[in-house]
Amino acid sequence: MKLTETTSLLSADIPVAEFSDFMRLGSGFTDDGGQDVLLETVLRAAMGAIEMRIGKILIARGFNWQIYVWRRDRSAQVLPVAPVNAISQIVMIDDLGVLTPVDAADYRLEFDSARPRIMPSKCNLPEVPVNGSAVVSFEAGFGIWVDIPSDLRQAVFLLAANYYENRNDLGKAAGQMPFGVLALLEPYRDMRLGLA
């Protein structure tokens, strides 16, 4: 299985000015934007780390998910991240590389804040070709920055501040998430009780 972004975050999507205010940078001085590149870098790193930890996409963007086999019974397929807003297409690729789009009437998205799923419209999802794969194209994320829950925005700022303050520290402690960030993320972690 392989998950790839099809749309990247633009600099305009990153809340650099808001983070600068949070950090109280440039208070009393003319702000020339000299720190903006560094602030954007630590914000991107913090968002990426948080997305990986909780399996949720913060700022909405497109993804392709290539999978080589559905779940055992093909009655549903859990998507690798949440929240998923829409599935734009599913394409089957055979062992010769021939692409065959799946009719959108054959599947639907089951919205779920933790484990969104692709559901078949009939009995089962279409079979993945032998030695081939299925590519699911979808949009995931809460929306723009202001659409993200406030506790997750706070976690991003706290972790980015930690990265900013420790940017020259190459020790083991620099790579650990602060306890305050972990506490804010805990309600968003996916609780898995079975093998599904």
pTM: 0.87
The answer to whether residues 157 and 22 touch, using CB atoms and an 8 Å cutoff, is yes
| C-alpha–C-alpha distance, residues 196 and 185, integer Å | 23
| C-alpha–C-alpha distance, residues 193 and 168, integer Å | 40
49 vs 196: which has the higher pLDDT: 49
Pair of tokens at residue 53 = 């930890």
Model pLDDT for residues 7-17, shown as the tens digit of each residue: 999 999 999 99
CA angle 6, 9, 15 (to 5 degrees): 160
Q: Which residues lie closer than 8 Å to 64 by C-beta, 6 or more apart?
A: 3, 4, 6, 135, 136, 137
Q: In which region does residue 70 sit, left (phi positive, over 0), alpha (psi from -120 to 50) or beta (all else)?
A: beta
Model pLDDT for residues 141-167, shown as the tens digit of each residue: 999 999 999 999 999 999 999 999 888
Model pLDDT for residues 58-113, shown as the tens digit of each residue: 999 999 999 999 887 788 999 999 999 999 999 999 999 999 999 999 999 999 98
The answer to whether residues 64 and 4 touch, using CB atoms and an 8 Å cutoff, is yes
Q: Which of 33-37, 106-110, 112-116 has the lowest mean pLDDT?
A: 33-37
